[in-house]
Chain A
Amino acid sequence: GSANEEGASGGLTINGAGASSQEAAQSAWRTGFLKNNDGTINYDPVGSGGGREQFTSGGVDFAGSDAYLDDKEVKAAQERCGEGGFVEVPAYVSPVALITNIEGVDSIKLKPETIAKIFNQKITKWNDPEIAATNKGVDLPDTTIVPVNRADESGTTENFVEYLEAAAPEQWPHEVSGNWPVEGGEAAQGTSGVVQAVKNGSGTIGYADASQAGDLTTVEVGVGDEFVKYSPEAAAAVLDVSERAKGRGEHSFAYDLARDTKESGTYPIVLVSYVLSCTNYDNADKAAMVKDYFNYMISAEGQKAAAEQAGSAPISDELRSKIQPAVEAIGSSNSGS
């Protein structure tokens, strides 16, 4: 252990908790940030709910969350942070890939309606005419479709379901939540569980963080008249066409994503994960460190590090310029002392 640098002892510690989807990115940010700064940063991947709860109760200095705060939480957060309110910015954007394991098929295109029908178990065979229609020239087998979903409540599910509801409202009558609403599919824990299940099964299709798709076949998703394969740029593009949610304070950049976009070159199934902090900390050093850390996270450099480590999609410069002022607002009322 002697090889480790001072660690906990050197400088300040700031603690975070929240979405486990951000864990890999947080690790990259932490490492990158601490190369040039002193101190310690911890991040407990207890889940978005836990992260938000601990943030609003004052247990942690910052939080990561796959969903933005709801109204009740906004109030709690404002109460915790006091005067200046809280900072809520998207920092982690990750495309959600549809992964399949169908014998003899290594590329497949699906329209949103078809995807909804598949996951709603209305289409049950891979050689269904509806699938065949968008996959001319692909030799689709006569196997049963096994849809794989997340067993645990997750931001990935919530974002995917949101997409289905927006892009194929007719075929997807279910309510949006982090819980998978359809019974009878294959359920697996965590991203790795879904990937595992898709890999081990046959005729399987699932949704997972694109970074974990590995060598599984990914679905090209129908957007407007074209089919888009996931890519970081295509994913990040969604944020640029989306609306910012209103009435949540000036430093809150929560987005209602335009899932039904027809915009060419956007990949609409994305997970957007936020980081949360207060604008005001009693401890000036801490405030400075949080601010620096947030700055690093959204910086081009930070986004690149996350992309390299966690496979996320870097946010666009345009978005960065929009959210930068919120991060700049972090400070301390005790800064004089």
Chain B
Amino acid sequence: MSTSTTTPEQDPELHTPLGGVPLTAGQLPRGAAPGMLVASAVAGLLLWLLAGWAIVPCALLAAAAYVVIVYTWSRAVEGPRKATDRLVTAIVSGAFLLALLPLISVLFTVVSKGLERFDAEFFTYSMVGVTGEGGGIYHAMMGTLIITGLAALISVPIGMLTAIYLVEYGRGKLAKAITFFVDVMTGIPSIVAGLFAYALFVMIFGPGVRMGIAGAVALSVLMIPTVVRSTEEMLKLVPNELREASYALGVPRWRTIVKVVLPTALAGIATGVTLAIARVIGETAPLLVTAGLTDGDNFDPFDGRMTTLSVYSYYEYVSPGLFAEASFDRAWGAALVLIIIVMVLNLIARIISKLFAPKTR
């Protein structure tokens, strides 16, 4: 054989197994971890109920106790690697629970206060001629849908195409500049975006201009960077292997992007787009200076003032007059509707991405 030169040299050390721990040795007893969890939770509860401590330190203490005990016990019995694994598991799950706290708290607040005004009038009437109690959000609901819809119509294509440019075409200075400035764009304060859009429309239509589309433009300035960034990240995760497979079939680049790359990244892109919408749908300041505020229905984004839910909610809250209760109820109700709208959008995005997503996992 002529291959003797490349034959690996003798290597006794490598060629003996390291020998590991027995498969069953070093295991915490079954149910040890959940048991400990329950025990710490109970201890925390006792501290809270019996010793009369505040709930937060009790919970923290219980969590810390659980983590420490499980970690040290596991370290002693199962070794450091397994212990670290358990530690991370505890931390990760804890982080999730921790994140649920504000969520539950916020939702509870909004739902409990917002449900007050979930009646037919609320959804079918505007605020024309309403003082004190009553009144509805129909005009604001439609305004929100129209303005946010327009903003999405502007920013989703622009944002996605830009992301495509950055990932698929972009080389050189232009791409660098765009990447960079898109990042910068994420930091524009919303009011500045509003003032910018206002200034732009004043140049075209003269002073005092208020129209839905101006609001949509302002929102687009805020939305685009989120769309670009999240889409870009998702496109970058698509394996090059797939692009090559497609190119090798003689598929032009743009078709590869449209038919292979985008569908693969679709779930992520849909999430990104809903995030972007959620980001802007609750804006107030930029909309007030561009789209204004009105009591009545106006569904023409190219003429006259339009109210959106967030602006509506904000001003019901900050200048309630003497009938504060009624006003606050309307404010919270509008906020709840806003959340529901985003939820529905999110759901739609998920359905879309489910329909087109890779069928692998």
Contact = CB atoms under 8 A, between A and B. Distances in A.
A336 interface: no
Given A42-B294, A44-B288, 19 more contacts: A7-B128, A8-B298, A20-B318, A23-B315, A23-B318, A31-B129, A31-B130, A32-B131, A34-B128, A34-B129, A35-B129, A40-B294, A40-B296, A44-B292, A54-B207, A54-B208, A58-B206, A60-B208, A214-B324
B319 A23 contact: yes
A1 B126 contact: yes
Given A1-B297, A44-B210, A44-B293, A8 B318 contact: no
Contacts of A15: 208, 210, 292, 305
Contacts of A309: 131-132, 321-323
A190 interface: yes
Interface in B318-343: 318-324
Interface in A14-49: 15, 17, 20-21, 23-25, 27-28, 30-32, 34-35, 40, 42-46
B321 A311 contact: yes
Given A4-B138, A309-B322, A192 B317 contact: yes
Contacts of B298: 7-8
A1 B304 CA distance: 18
B125 interface: yes
Given A31-B129, A192-B320, A311-B321, A3 B292 contact: no
B321 to A, nearest CB: 3
A5 B125 CA distance: 10
Nearest to A23: B319
Interface in A271-320: 305, 308-311
A212 interface: yes
Given A34-B129, A42-B305, A311 B207 contact: no
A177 interface: no
Interface residues of A, number: 45
Given A212-B324, A309-B132, A42 B208 contact: no
By DSSP majority rule, is chain A's interface helix, strand, loop, or mixed? helix
A131 to B, nearest CB: 30
A169 interface: no
A15 B202 CA distance: 16
A57 B124 CA distance: 37
12 contacts: A1-B126, A4-B125, A15-B292, A23-B315, A24-B319, A24-B321, A30-B295, A32-B131, A42-B305, A44-B293, A59-B209, A190-B318
A308 B128 CA distance: 18
B142 interface: yes
Contacts of B322: 24, 211, 308-311
Given A4-B296, A42-B293, A309-B131, A24 B320 contact: yes
Interface string B199-232: 0001000111110000000000000000000000
A42 B202 CA distance: 19
Contact of B208 (A8, A32, A57): A57
